Structure 1
Amino acid sequence: MIEELKTFIAVVDKKSFTKAANFINISQPSVSSHISILERYFNTRLIERSNKQKNILITQTGKILYKRAKQMIGFLEETKEELNNYHNSISGTLKIGASMTIGEFLLPSILGDFIKEFPEVKLDVTIENTKHIYDKFKNYDIDIALVEGTVPVENYVYKNFYKDTMVIVVPYLSSQNLNSNLKDYLSKQTWIHREEGSGTGENLNIFLNDEDIHPKNFIVLGSNYAIKEAVKNNLGISFISSLVINEAVKNNEVEVISIKDNYNRYFSYLVHENNISRLASVFLEKLKLYSNIDN
């Protein structure tokens, strides 16, 4: 049944019997046979096929089985790793997903120290915006999600591990043009921000709403580096993590405008409840060393 489930996962992921067969290196008739075995076993239609089998549609019961199959295969792989690690040798593959700010400015040093201590561990790292990382986590494509934005409350372990400070960043020496009305000045600026689904973009929207600021224009960019460079080159201003612009401030490339209130947010980790591998547990213990909040 394990091979049949792996085949089914491949068909859903590749959306094609032919592509799935090539991906898992079996014949297309074998793929069809595996799907038929599952449909008979679960007494339900999992995939609707067109006459020519060029297009497939996953049924609602197929979607349920897909999620459970990912969990079952993941659990078997973790069990295998746990048995391999019985004699205290930490090895295996750890799949980590991180949203952009964490992935670019915190994760490299964390992983560098982790690999020094556990050189036998293989890392599979995905860095995307918070929404994409959460979707992959929910689909059991990653073991640990490190996110900076709001995610739905579901059946998983969710815990803050780092407090980040958000700041208003402007081109260098722009503060000389500030008048006494900061709100009026900020409303007249072009604001540069991240795409929808980004934790940084979410926090910009919260800040603008809280301060009742209505910018004249927005520019959307897909990375923190691009935003920093855009501000540096006088394309506008932004509300962004201090982690992103600390070096640029030291180098007099941009500057931070002081505001009355501090705006903080929390970076958090997500792990699947009751499905935490020993390897993931070891990583989370090491992650505590980088926390700047009391847990």
Structure 2
Amino acid sequence: MIEELKTFIAVVDEKSFTKAASTINISQPSVSLHIKILEKKFKTKLIERSNKQRNILITQTGEILYKKAKQIISLIDDTKDELNNYHDSTSGTLKIGASMTIGEFLLPSILGEFIKEFPNVKLEVAIENTHNIYEKFKNYDIDIALTEGSVPAHNYTSSNFYKDTMVIVTPNSFTYDKNIGLKPNLSNQTWMHREEGSGTGEYLNIFLNTEGISPKNFIILGSNYAIKEAVKNNLGVTFISSLVVADAATNNELKIIATKTKYNRFFSYLVHERNLSKIATLFVEKLEKFSKRNIT
């Protein structure tokens, strides 16, 4: 049954029997057989195929089995690692997903401390926007998700581990009149914006709506670095984590606008409520220690 589930996962991921066969290194007839075995076992149609079998459609029951199969395979892999290493020093593979700001500016130092303490642990790290990281977490592709934006309510445990400060950033040439406030100064400006699904982009939208600021237009960029460089080169202004621009501001490459209001947000970690592996538990403990130093 385990091999059949692995085959089904590959078919859904690849959206093709042929590609799935190549990915898991079995024949295409074997792929078809595995799917038939599952459909017979669960008494339901899992995959609809066109007459030419070039296109496939996952049924609703297929979607349910796919999510459960991912959980089952993840649990088996975690159990195997834990049993194999029960009498040995802590080792195995930890899969972490982090949104962009966390992955670029906080995670390296956290992982450095963790690996120094547990050198036999292997790491697999994905750094993408909050939406993509949450999707990986939801599908059990990663053990722990580190996010900076809001995510849907689900069966997971969430806890804050860092308080971040968001700041208004402009080119050095920008003139800000403290006497007239944010709205008159920052309306009718070009704003650097992250792509949809970004936690940073979400907080920028909240900031603009809260302050009643009406941008002239947006430039959409896919990374924090690109936004920082765009502001430095006089393309516009932005609202972004102080982690991204602190060094550039110190070096007078751009300007942070001081405001009376502190704009803070929290970074969170997500773990599945059940079946947390030993290695994941140790990493959560590291995050909890990190949070005590960085949340006041």
**Corresponding position: 1:136 with 2:116:** no
Which string of whole-angstrom CA distances, capped at 9 and with x for unpartnered residues, describes residues 6-25 of structure 1? 01100110111111111100
Which string of whole-angstrom CA distances, capped at 9 and with x for unpartnered residues, describes residues 104-139 of structure 1? 000111112212222221111111110111111111
Structure 1: gaps of 5 or more residues:
none
**Corresponding position: 1:178 with 2:177:** yes
* Paired AA for residue 70 in structure 2: K
Structure 2 distance, partners of 1:232, 1:225, is 11
**Corresponding position: 1:103 with 2:116:** no
Q: Secondary structure in 2 aligned to 1:101?
A: helix
Which string of whole-angstrom CA distances, capped at 9 and with x for unpartnered residues, describes residues 182-225 of structure 1? 32111132111111111111111111111111111211111000
Instruction: Please give the residue correspondences for 1:194-209 in structure 2 after superposition, counting only pairs within 5 Å.
Output: 194-209=194-209
Which string of whole-angstrom CA distances, capped at 9 and with x for unpartnered residues, describes residues 20-76 of structure 1? 111100111111111111111111111111222111111111110000000001111
The Cα of 1:250 is off from its aligned counterpart by 1.0
Aligned to 2:252: 252
Equivalenced residues, count: 293
Tell me which moved more, 107-116 or 218-227.
107-116
Tell me which moved more, 248-257 or 109-118.
109-118
Structure 2: gaps of 5 or more residues:
none
Structure 1 distance, partners of 2:49, 2:89, is 46
**TM-score, normalising length: structure 1:** 0.96
Structure 2 distance, partners of 1:69, 1:247, is 45
Which stretches of structure 1, 4 residues or longer, exceed 2 Å deviation after superposition? Answer: 177-180
Aligned to 1:18: 18
Which string of whole-angstrom CA distances, capped at 9 and with x for unpartnered residues, describes residues 215-253 of structure 1? 112111110001110111111111000000010011110
Aligned to 2:93: 93
Aligned to 2:66: 66
The Cα of 1:174 is off from its aligned counterpart by 2.5
* Paired AA for residue 202 in structure 1: E
Structure 2 distance, partners of 1:53, 1:76, is 32
Structure 1 distance, partners of 2:223, 2:96, is 19
Structure 1 distance, partners of 2:177, 2:257, is 10
**TM-score, normalising length: structure 2:** 0.96
Structure 2 distance, partners of 1:19, 1:117, is 40
Structure 2 distance, partners of 1:180, 1:218, is 26
